[in-house]
C-alpha cells in the first residue's frame, strides 16, 4: 500500500525532549516514520506521540514541565502561555508542573499517549482543584488559501462563549473545558479574534492584529476568571498548531 504523506511546518523541539527530525518533519500514517535510529538512519525508533501544553491555571507560578522524570521546557512556562508541540513516549506517563528550578510539585497527573497521535494538554482552574484536559488534535490541511481555528474555554466561571471573527460567529456556545473542532476561516492580514458571551457582544477576551497564515491551523483559548483580580481576570491567547505548505 502506498502511503500518502503531508508536509507540516511547525512541529518543534522543546528543551530536552526528543525532537522531530527537522522543522518540516513528515506527519503521516505513522508519525514514528520521522524518527530515525542514531545507529541506522533507515530504521525507525519506537513509536511516539506529540504533545503541546497550555498553562491556564490562574494562580500557578512559573513552572517547569516534566514528562515522567524528563524536563521539557528550556524557559519557565508562565500562566497564559504554552509549549509548542514536542515528541514523547507512548503509554501512561506522568505529566507534572513543578516550581521553576526546583522539585516542588504544583500539579501532577497521569495522561495516556497513543502512538501516532497529536495532543494538547490544558492545565486549568485553581491549582488546589486543578483540571487537566487532554485533547486529541486532528491536524488537517485547510483548503488552499484558507486557515482553520478552534476555540477552547478554559475559564472555570465564565459564561458560555462564542468566537467571532470579522463580525461573524465562527464557533458558538462553548462552556468550561469544551474545545471545538477546527473550523475553516478565510485568511486575512490583520484579524481581530473576539471571544464573547454566547449570543451577545459582551467581550470576554480578544487577540488583536493577528496575521492568519494560509494553510495555518490555530487554537484560541479563553482563560482566567470572570471578575478576577491581580492578573487573574479573563484573557485570551492564540497558538499556531501547524502550518501546511
Give per-residue pLDDT as tens, 5-34. Answer: 233 444 433 333 333 322 234 343 333 334
d(CA 122, CA 177): 9
Check residue 112 and give its pLDDT: 98
Q: Identify the three-state secondary structure at position 84.
A: strand
pLDDT digit string (tens) for 39-63?
A: 444 444 678 999 999 999 999 999 9
| Burial of 208: CB neighbours in 10 Å, binned 0-12, 13-18, 19+ | exposed
Residue segments in the chain with a per-residue pLDDT below the cut of 70: 1-45
Check residue 36 and give its pLDDT: 42
Let me know the angle formed at the C-alpha of 123 by 204 and 19, rounded to the nearest 5 degrees. 120
User: Which three cell numbers mark 231?
Assistant: 492578573
Q: Which residue's entry shows cell 494538554?
A: 121
Would you say 135 and 168 are in contact if contact means Cβ atoms under 8 Å apart? no
Check residue 46 and give its pLDDT: 74
Structural domains of the chain, with CATH: 1-137 (2.60.40), 141-245 (2.60.40)
Q: What is the DSSP string of 3-39?
A: PPPEEEE-----TTS---SSTTPEE-S-GGGG-B-SS
Check residue 190 and give its pLDDT: 85
pTM above 0.95, yes or no: no
Check residue 213 and give its pLDDT: 92
Amino acid at each position: 500500500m502506498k502511503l500518502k504523506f503531508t508536509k507540516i511546518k511547525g512541529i518543534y523541539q522543546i528543551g530536552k525532549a526528543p525532537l522531530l527530525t527537522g522543522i518540516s518533519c513528515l506527519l503521516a500514517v505513522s508519525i514514528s516514520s520521522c524518527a530515525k535510529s542514531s545507529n541506522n538512519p533507515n530504521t525507525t525508533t519506537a513509536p511516539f506521540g506529540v504533545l503541546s501544553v497550555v498553562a491556564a491555571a490562574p494562580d500557578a507560578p512559573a513552572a517547569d514541565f516534566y514528562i515522567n522524570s524528563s524536563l521539557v521546557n528550556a524557559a519557565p512556562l508562565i500562566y497564559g502561555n504554552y509549549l509548542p508541540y514536542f515528541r514523547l513516549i507512548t503509554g501512561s506517563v506522568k505529566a507534572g508542573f513543578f516550581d521553576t528550578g526546583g522539585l516542588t510539585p504544583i500539579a501532577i497527573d497521569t495522561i495516556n499517549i497513543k502512538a501516532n497521535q497529536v495532543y494538547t494538554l490544558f492545565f486549568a482552574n485553581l491549582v488546589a482543584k486543578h483540571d487537566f484536559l487532554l485533547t486529541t488534535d486532528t491536524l488537517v490541511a485547510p483548503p488552499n488559501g484558507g486557515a482553520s481555528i478552534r476555540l477552547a474555554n478554559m475559564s472555570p466561571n465564565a459564561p458560555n462563549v462564542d468566537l467571532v471573527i470579522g463580525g461573524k460567529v465562527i464557533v458558538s456556545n462553548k462552556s468550561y473545558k469544551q474545545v471545538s473542532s477546527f473550523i475553516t476561516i478565510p485568511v486575512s492580514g490583520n484579524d481581530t479574534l473576539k471571544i464573547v458571551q454566547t449570543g451577545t457582544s459582551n467581550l470576554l477576551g480578544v487577540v488583536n492584529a493577528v496575521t492568519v497564515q494560509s494553510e495555518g491551523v490555530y487554537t484560541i483559548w479563553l482563560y482566567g476568571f470572570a471578575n478576577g483580580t491581580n492578573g487573574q481576570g479573563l484573557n485570551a491567547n492564540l497558538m499556531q498548531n501547524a502550518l501546511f505548505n
